[in-house]
Amino acid sequence: MDFDMGKRAGDLRRELRELVAEHVPENFLGAFTHDPADLETAQRFCRTLAERNLLCLAWPQEFGGGDASVWEQTVVREEMWAAHEPRGAQYMGVNWVGPIIMRHGSAEQQRRHLPPIAAGEVIWCQGFSEPEAGSDLASLRTFARPDKDGWLVSGQKIWTSYATMAQWCFLLARTSRIGEGATTKKQQGLTIFLVPMDDPAITVRPIGTMLGPHHLNEVFFDDLRVTEADVLGTVDAGWSIVQDVMSFERVGIARYARCERLLAAAPAVLGERWDELSDELRGRWIRMLMHCRRARLLAYRVVALQDSGRVTPGDAAAYRIAVTKLDQDSAEVLMDVAAEVRRTDARAGWFLGEVEDHWRYSQASTVSSGSIEMQRILLSRAMLAGRT
């Protein structure tokens, strides 16, 4: 459990914090607010990181990265998430879209898609979940029917984050129905397509929530034409890529870093009033700091396994369970602490805004990117398999 982040980690953290302090307003609450200036702040900051070769730090140099270690990229994840993710939606392209295209994409797809991601110029969204295929993703109904030299895709996706701002979609569709040819299971006959969001056959409808705009959307495909050039990997073999996506996606967000930052800031924000808090509340606060450490170590374990090519769905699920529960439990503690903050205190406005946003976001954390119930099933299966 003793993970060495490398000699450069400390200097890298300082550099990233200096860049955030210089380029990101203190009251920044993410790129997905009603104020277009927040999105522009994130896009501008991504370009700044890219110019310094910090956006895709661990990518190979041939794809526009810095050829750094996964631990240095982990430092970037932690510092960005602690600062309310000033990369905006770019983390998706950096953390998993780019690496998945490196693993499974053709040379032409790599040339087309990786440089814009590395430069911070493009936003991706994920076309996975459907109204009747969320946790049970393999039951999706979006279908690509053969037509001339390609396919016509029709169907609906839901809960699609960033669809209103994305230029590209990582789309999962069924290309063979169960019972056709070699397709005997619902995990078979699925294909990944890389499609441009400005195609007129795609319609996006935002879903209003307390999370704010851009987070959730419906996406409709009405005979979207795709060809072999849009296929990632092999036709009908998309499920193996989906499993790869999940292992990257579920450890790509260092949620524990924001929880820890807010918890650590609480005593300074309250000042002398901190000593007046009940022993029960301070005890819960200490417990949450311990849980931050636990989630961090679980994340490091998965990063180490991922680096060695040995990560399993069970490993990612264990981390995901811990960090999403941390999100929600720490949010409750922080809300109770925030109730004791006087708005006249120096950093009260910043702290209260951050805590409220953290609480709102945490409500969906055990559902997004795979529900906690499904994570427990994955972990249970992995544990049972290990005993046999």
Q: What is the pLDDT along the chain (388 residues), one digit of tens a residue?
A: 567 777 888 999 999 999 999 999 988 988 888 888 999 999 999 999 999 999 999 999 999 999 999 899 999 999 999 999 999 988 889 989 999 999 999 999 999 999 999 999 999 999 999 998 877 889 999 999 999 899 999 999 999 989 999 999 999 999 999 888 778 899 999 999 999 999 999 999 999 877 766 778 999 999 999 999 999 999 999 999 998 887 776 566 788 999 999 999 999 999 889 999 999 999 999 999 999 999 999 899 888 887 777 777 788 888 888 889 999 999 999 999 999 998 776 678 889 999 999 999 898 887 776 678 878 888 888 888 875 4
Residue 388: predicted pLDDT: 46
Number of H helices, E strands in the chain: 12, 8
Residue 368: predicted pLDDT: 73
User: Structure pTM?
Assistant: 0.87
Which of 130, 258, 142, 123 lies closest to 189, judged by CA?
A: 142
Distance CA 86, CA 265 (A): 19
Contact call for residues 238 and 192 (beta carbons, < 8 A): yes
Domain locations in the chain as residue ranges:
9-122, 126-237, 250-387
Which of 109, 156, 129, 112 lies closest to 242, judged by CA?
A: 129
> Which CATH homologous superfamily contains domain 126-237?
Butyryl-CoA Dehydrogenase, subunit A, domain 2 (2.40.110.10)
Contact call for residues 162 and 125 (beta carbons, < 8 A): yes
> Which CATH homologous superfamily contains domain 9-122?
Acyl-CoA dehydrogenase/oxidase, N-terminal domain (1.10.540.10)
Q: Which tokens sit at 223?
A: 């005979």
Residues 6+ positions from 323 with CB-CB distance below 8 Å: 255, 256, 295, 298, 299
Q: Please give the CATH topology (third level) of the domain spanning 250-387.
A: Butyryl-CoA Dehydrogenase, subunit A; domain 3 (1.20.140)
Q: Which amino acids are annotated catalytic?
A: 249
